[in-house]
Every structure is written in C-alpha cells, then in structure tokens.
Structure 1
C-alpha cells in the first residue's frame, strides 16, 4: 500500500466520527424526514450543509448519532462498535461476572471485570441482541441518578430505548444494578495492564482491517449520481467493488459496508435463532400496482437496496432485503405514494433479491 493510502487509513482511524455524506438520506433528498442525528445530539453539534454533515467542536464523542442514524452516515470509531461487542463477548467467556458501564460510573476495584464505554447509548438494538444472546453473565452497572448529571443529556433516552428494543427482539432481559457483586474467584493478574494490552492490540487489529479495506479499494461509498450511470465502466466498477467487499468480509469477519455495521449483528443472530426469525421487528418496502416506474426510489436509495431493471419492454423493481435499513427515504420521495414500509418477519432479511413489482408485455 502506498503512503497516501496509509495516511488515509490512519486519518479514518484517528477520527472519532467517520462521515459518509453519500449515505445521508437528508442530504440525498430535501423530502427526507430523517434528522435523527440532529434531534438526539446532546450539544446540537450536528448540522447540514449542501453536500456535507458538519460536526462542530462541541461534539462530546458519545456515539449517539451513530446509534440513531439508520444508514450509518455517521459511524463512531472510539471505540468501534464491533470492537466493543467482541470484547464484551470475550470477557463474558473468560469471567464469572462482567459489568458494562459508562464513563460516569467508575469502578476502582481491580478484582472486578468491567468494560467502559463513553455512553451506553452508543450500543444500538441490533448489538444488544448479540449481547443478550451471548453474555448471560453480563450486568449493566448504572444508578438512577448517573444520567441526570451527565452532559450527554439525551443519552439515557437513547440507551434505554435501544436496550428495550433489543430485549424485546431477543426475548430476554439484562440486569441493571447500582451495586457491585464481587466474584468468588480472585483475579491473579493486573486488570489495568490487561485492559491496556487488550485495548492496544484491538487498536492494531482495527487499523489493520482499515488498511485491508483501503488496499482492496472497498472503502468508498458510491453517490446516487454515480449509481445512476449505466455505462460499461460504472458496471465494471460496481462488480469489482462487490468482489472487494466479499474478500474483505472473508478476511475480517466483518461487513465492508458502513450501512451494514449494525445490520451485521442482527443477520448473524438470525442465522442461529429460529425464534428470532419468526418475529416481526423489521420494516421493508412494498410497492403497489399504481407505481409508474419513475425510478426515483432505486436511484436515491442510500444503500442501493432497491434496483430497477428493463428487459424486453418489461420493467421490474427488486429489493435486496439485507441492505434495506428502514431509512424511509423511498417512502418519503415517492410522488405517487406507491411505496409503503411494512413490518415483516425477520427471516426475510436472509432472503436473496426479490421482485416487488413487474410490469410489461412479457409479464
């Protein structure tokens, strides 16, 4: 990898928030009703310019915007969500009792196994499902008053909403306590040293994954203007990007696409849990027969979940369920109101592309 690419990798790693304007529904169309990041930012540090999401110097680096953004146009890097969940699962496998807490709830005893995050609100419901299924010995260390004096004023609202949704999906709950229960097994190692080394090596792993992604050329998100080009060059470019994404996912066990950052957790759990498959926790678009095939939904969809094809006078619109993140943009922009988001069984996300509507002489 050349020096310029390496500098770009380090810049992405050092930045607390990775911003992908091409994924922002609000920037793609003025008809979008989404401004969740603005509504939930505790310091009102987020605003929109014509082509960019602006973050001012008052940002607290709490990660709430990444949690509430459906498309992950804002992606929190300190620490990365994948790293937090992986570390939680590992700690729960190795210890009798593990506590998860925010930075306000400090634990000074080295014999207590804990994991600290900037704010519990940085964990979305999809990740909570993984935690609930794999970390039965995890407890949230939190008091009724810890959020009242916190500068992250919207944090409690977000984390309790996301946790409740995750518990409903997983069909189980997690204990919340303001008291520490000490493990019967005494820790024979230096907890601070272990935490430091663990954090150090996780940083190296995360940087290496970014380097691999950059090397494969799969780190960029296409704009809707690029996706609407149907020339040979653009098709080849998309195919190469698809191959790069597949290679990255095989090598790292993570999704190469920013908007799949949260969805990846749910997909993994769906493959293992038949009960979760039967539930209706997701919404996907349906299209009525009065659709005029203007193509706006397929062109503007941030994640390219919708696609329109024309073949021998027959038009069709297909959906890749796993890529649909319920941002509502297709519903907001449809002039004829022919698209509606409806609750469906979670197992639908595991299906391949499906046709939503077909019209034409060869139908």
Structure 2
C-alpha cells in the first residue's frame, strides 16, 4: 500500500514555463532550439525569436526540463529531485526511459535523450554504480528523437574523463541489470510527501504574488545541475586535473572567456549575460570586469554582442569554480561632465549618447535645408 501511494506521489507533476528565462527572449538573434526540436508532441515552437508553448498539445513528458540550459521549464517534482528519491535503497542505479523501464526498480527519465553526466551525478555522489538500459529496437518505434550515437559518445568520453571512479555501463538486456527493487517504509513516504507539500505550498504562494514575476532583467539562477557538478568536484578533487575533451565540455556547457585589451567597459556583455557570469564592479578608483565560470552556460551571447570578448575551450576543471578578474581599468574624470569613466574612454556613456544625438539632429537639420 505505502509503495503504491509513494509511486503515485512521485510521478505526479505539472509543467510550469518561465519564458523570461529563454535565451531567445534574452537575445533576439539567439538560435537555441533544444526544447522545440526534442518535443515529441510539437507543443513548443521557437519562431520569431521567441518561445511559443501550446499547452493544449503538451503531454507533460518533462523532456524539455532536462534539456533546457536556463530552467525555462519547471516540474512540480523537479527531475533531479526525482532521481534522488529513486536512488533510495539502491546498490546500483539503472537509468531507463519511461517506455522500457521497470517502474519498481529503475530510475526513469522521459527519454534517454534527456540523460547527461549531471543527471547521473546524484548516484556518483553516493558512489552508486550506474547503468543505462535500452533496447534499440524499441527506440525505433518511439515518437521521441533519441540519438543513440550521441549517448554512446558522451558515455565513452565521461568514462575516459572520470577514470575508474565513476564508470557508466550501457546494457541492452534486462537480465544484466544489477539494481534491486526499492522497498519504501512509512518513514520514507511521510518524509517525501512532507517535502513535496512544502514545495507545492511555496509554488502556490509564489504564483499568487504578482511582485515575484520574473522579468528579463532578472538573472537566471544557478541550476541544480551545476550544483551537483560543483559538489562532485568538491568531494572528488582529483577530477579537477583530468583532461576535458571538447565534446564533453560542450555537452556540459563549460567554457572560459577572455577579454582583449581594447575593452571599454561598455557594460553590454554584462547586461545581456543571462546568468550573471560576467559582471562589472566599481572599486574606489577603478572598474573591474569579473567572470564566474560556474555560472556560465556557454550560450555565446557575450561574444556575439562584444568584439572584445573571446570564447576558449575549457581544458580542465581546476579553476572552474573560481572567479577570475578579466580586466581592470583606472577611473578618470569625463572631459565633458567630470563623471568617472574608464581610462581610455573619450566620454562617459551619457555624454557619448548626448553627442550622438546632437550629431543626428545636426544631420537631419542640414538635410531639411538642402
């Protein structure tokens, strides 16, 4: 009885969409299509540089929640929270899709396309061996777009990166599963339902509070996936020195940013950075441009809007969770108004804008008298 109730509670969720977090909403030229390309119900469209969600078509499969890098989609029961609960009492974690999984024993995801090293990290943090189970013939008749070679590729690269520490095994036959069905006690049930009730109450309170609406000025918070990666590195510092392949770095959306000498602190990159990985801070007599790699999701917006920034592949994770100072510039008085400006800047932004307006008005006035 308790196990049946627990299963019903575990799998009940509803999808919430926060469009202000979407990269297309943040930067009109961004071409992210991860959610719309993967949606099996065609409920998501990325047209006219914005995200369109057709709730009537949505089946709440949850695949978009796993793929979106900016947490646009949120489940009432978060995906990593469900993984945590599915690991209760497990000696081995076997991940499988909802079509092929054994509900009483497997860790279920909507589709194996949703898997990434971060989704497996709750198991790694508990030193639980990981298996991924799928039957290729079953995937051929599925309406989800699952790329088998992509999964095989990143699993091989992760196994190489982690050495013998966190190996992932791909299996195709159910008899090779090493996991055992979990047995829920009353204590497990009440602890979990109490936690879920707290989440639901907070969600209701936040939804009823109009002042908590998210705008484009709000930065995207650090994702749970990043928190798990950070915790994994803290618990296993030897992984920091391991060579990171370019393919694995792109899958994990890891990179670093360098700045050229001619940066003028225009603030465009920091204003458009969706996560706040780039920020400008004013010291007593200087301006400083900082970069926090742990917040960066490798969206490419900063390098697209600023010619003074360069993206670079991340080779290792040694300095990944350390904030770096990209550039520092002395503050000098603006020749026109006396406000502090970075060294090398002809005018402050306000005076520069005013100067450009005067030039525009002069040009229009000359055209009228011609």
Give the TM-score of the pair, scaled to structure 1.
0.69
The 3 A distance-change label for structure 1 pair 176 and 226 is: closer
Matched, 1:100 2:92: no
| 1:79 CA displacement | 4.7
> Closer, same or farther in 2 for the Cα pair 1:144/1:184, shift >3 Å?
closer
* Other structure's SS at 2:87 match: helix
Cα shift at 1:313: 5.8
Partner of 1:263: 226
Shift of 1:196: 11
Q: Distance in 1 between matches of 2:284 and 2:226?
A: 36
CA shift in 2, pair 1:138/1:314, >3 Å:
closer
Deviation digits for residues 55-76 of structure 1, max 9, x if unmatched?
A: 223334343323332222233x
Residue pair 1:283, 1:341 contacting (<8 A) in 2 also: yes
Larger Rg belongs to = 2
- Distance 1:185-1:20 versus aligned 2 partners, 3 A rule: closer
After superposition, give the CA deviation of every residue in 1:85-139 in whole Å (9 maximum; x if it has no partner). Answer: 31243232xx4x553322221548x7xx333332233333222244345354443
Equivalence map 1:138-217=2 (5 Å) = 138-154=130-146, 156=148, 159-160=151-152, 163-164=155-156, 166-171=158-163, 172-181=166-175, 194=184, 202-209=192-199, 211=201
What is the CA-CA distance between 1:162 and the residue it aligns to?
5.5
Secondary structure of residue in 1 paired with 2:135:
coil
Cα distance in 2 between the residues matched to 1:167 and 1:186: 24
Of stretches 194-203 and 66-75 in structure 1, the one that deviates more from structure 2 is 194-203
- TM-aligned CA distance change 1:270 to 1:181, over 3 Å: same
Task: Please name the residue that 2:215 is paired with.
Answer: 223
**Which of 294, 310, 316 is equivalent to 1:339?**
310
Question: In the aligned structure 2, how far is the partner of 1:323 from the partner of 1:164?
Answer: 26
C-alpha separation in 2, matches of 1:38 and 1:204? 34
* Partner Cα distance (1:261, 1:303) in 2: 13
Alpha-carbon distance in structure 1 between the residues aligned to 2:179 and 2:262: 66
Partner residue in 1 for 2:351: none
| Structure 2 unpaired stretches of 5+ | 1-11, 333-342, 344-370
Q: Which residue of 1 aligns with 2:20?
A: 22
Secondary structure of 1:347's partner?
coil
Q: 1:267 and 1:223, CA in 2 relative to 1: closer, same or farther beyond 3 A?
A: same
What's the counterpart of residue 69 of structure 1?
A: 68
Q: Secondary structure at the match of 1:26?
A: helix
Superposition pairs for residues 195-344 of structure 1, below 5 Å? 202-209=192-199, 211=201, 222-225=214-217, 258-279=221-242, 280=244, 281=249, 282-311=254-283, 314-334=286-306, 336-344=307-315
Question: RMSD in angstroms over aligned alpha carbons?
Answer: 3.9
Partner residue in 2 for 1:238: none
Give yes or no for contact 1:132–1:170 (8 Å, CA) kept in 2. no
Give the Cα separation in 2 of the matches to 1:21 and 1:74. Answer: 8
Per-residue CA distance 1:132-190 (angstroms, 9 max, x = gap): 45354443332121211111123656655664554444334322223334999998xxx
Unmatched tracts of structure 1, length 5 or more: 1-12, 228-256
197-206 vs 138-147, which deviates more? Answer: 197-206
Counterpart of 2:7 in structure 1 is: none
The answer on whether the counterparts of 2:287 and 2:331 sit within 8 Å (CA) in structure 1 is: no
Cα 1:182–1:138 change in 2 (3 A) is: same
2:107: which partner in 1? 115
Match of 1:249 in 2: none
